[in-house]
Amino acid sequence: MARTDDDSWDITESVGATALGVAAARAAESGSEHPLFDDPCARIFVDAAIARGWSPPFTAADPGPAQAGRMRMLMAYVPSRTKWFDEYFAAAGADGIRQVVILAAGLDARAWRLPWPDGTVVFEIDQPKVLAFKEETLAAHGVEPAARHVGVPIDLRQDWPEALRQSGFDPTQPTAWLAEGLLPYLPAEAQDLLFDRLHELSAPGSRVAVEGFGPEYFSEAKQRIREERMDAVRAEAARSGKPIFDVSDLFYIEPREDIAEWLTRHGWQTRFETSAEVTARYKPEVAGEVPDVGSEFVDAKLS
Ligand code: SAM
């Protein structure tokens, strides 16, 4: 699963499959007793991928404690993250923003499931085969978007600003951007370029929300702790005969600037909450028992 500068993937492969992993978590949350949100598309995506031969992670009949712990951690983290960014878009809509760009949209179904104000357009950028799977699957189920939806199939390491403009994006209008579940899959240099470009395309009044991973996250000490935890998960998985898909194999573990600091430095009014604070608010029943992912959720405005 080694990464290369111009690697590409389908939905069940490499970085594409990470979109299925988070969709599976949203499907599970939606089917739970007191869900934080309802994402009916998530189940549709998961079932369509299973029909293509994809096997959902963490479905061992008898998971050991390490696997069960990782599952609990993801089920605290992913739904809390979804809820936080859902609220961001509600606030951006209330601010009067009608142009939305979801970077690395994967199987994010917000364009189909959120109550967008009239006149909203949602652009989604991701690799071509990922967006093709998403759009074909939803069309096959007759699911209609709740805003004007425009897919922009391109790799974020390529000239995506040009592709976005050609798809009708208007840089003179304020935009609500989202980068969720993306940054560790980009080299540090590509992350900087992504935000340089986003900044250039942002009219006054724009907002951006980011799932950020600061220098501490990529430190050797934190990396070692995560590896030890994953070694235990892998050992259990090997015993059960079901190999584990470890997303961090796809990460670029490189020092990079904290994104809240980057945005502040570029004139954005920035606020953030840590993943520990967010999961404690939305999943108080489990947050204290599971390891913290160690990310931060950033919401910044440009005046
Ligand atoms: N944002 C979505 C969510 O939270 O449900 C998807 C997150 S998933 C963990 C990562 C997504 O990033 C995948 O859909 C993958 O295709 C996309 N991605 C990663 N690197 C990318 C790149 N260089 N260009 C385009 N998409 C990329």
pLDDT of residue 245: 81
pLDDT of residue 1: 61
Encoding tokens for residue 297? 């959720």
Which ligand 1 atom minimizes the distance to the CA of 78?
4
Within a domain: 8: no
d(CA 138, CA 123): 16
pLDDT at 26 over 80: yes
pLDDT of residue 23: 97
What is the distance in angstroms between the CA of the first residue and the CA of the last residue of the chain? 42
Within a domain: 4: no
pLDDT of residue 30: 97
Three-class DSSP category at 176:
strand
Choose one of 14, 15, 101, 249 to mutate for the ligand 1 pocket test, by most ligand atoms within 8 angstroms of C-beta. Answer: 15
Question: For the CA atoms of the chain, what is the radius of gyration?
Answer: 18
- Ligand 1 center to 184 CA (angstroms): 10
Lookup result for tokens 């005969």 = 241
Q: What are phi and psi of 70, to 5 degrees?
A: -65, -40
d(CA 14, CA 188): 19
Look at 28-42, 111-125, 242-256, 257-271 and tell me which has the smallest mean pLDDT: 242-256
Q: Is 174 in the pocket of ligand 1 (CB under 6 A)?
A: no
> Which residue type occupies 234?
R
Within a domain: 93: yes
pLDDT top residue among 214 and 165: 165
Within a domain: 264: yes
d(CA 176, CA 98): 8
Element (H, E) at 66: helix 65-94
In contact, 283 and 79? CB cutoff 8 Å: yes
Indicate the length of the chain as a whole number: 303
- Ligand 1 center to 130 CA (angstroms): 9
pLDDT of residue 41: 98
Give pLDDT tens digits for 135-152.
Answer: 999 999 999 999 999 999
Question: What average pLDDT does this structure show over 17-39?
Answer: 97
In contact, 239 and 271? CB cutoff 8 Å: no
Within a domain: 9: no
Within a domain: 5: no
pLDDT of residue 60: 65
Mean of all residue pLDDT scores within the chain: 94
pLDDT of residue 255: 86
Q: Is 185 in the pocket of ligand 1 (CB under 6 A)?
A: yes
pLDDT at 274 over 80: yes
pLDDT band at 298 (very low <50, low <70, confident <90, very high): very high
Question: Domain containing 156 — which CATH number?
Answer: 3.40.50.150
pLDDT at 284 over 90: yes
pLDDT of residue 174: 98
Within a domain: 7: no
Within a domain: 2: no
pLDDT of residue 148: 98
Give pLDDT tens digits for 35-77.
Answer: 999 999 999 999 999 999 998 876 666 778 888 889 999 999 9
pLDDT of residue 262: 97
Give pLDDT tens digits for 195-237.
Answer: 999 999 999 999 999 999 988 898 899 989 999 999 998 888 8
pLDDT of residue 58: 66
In terms of residue numbers, what domain contains 286?
A: 14-302
User: What's the total number of domains in the chain?
Assistant: 1
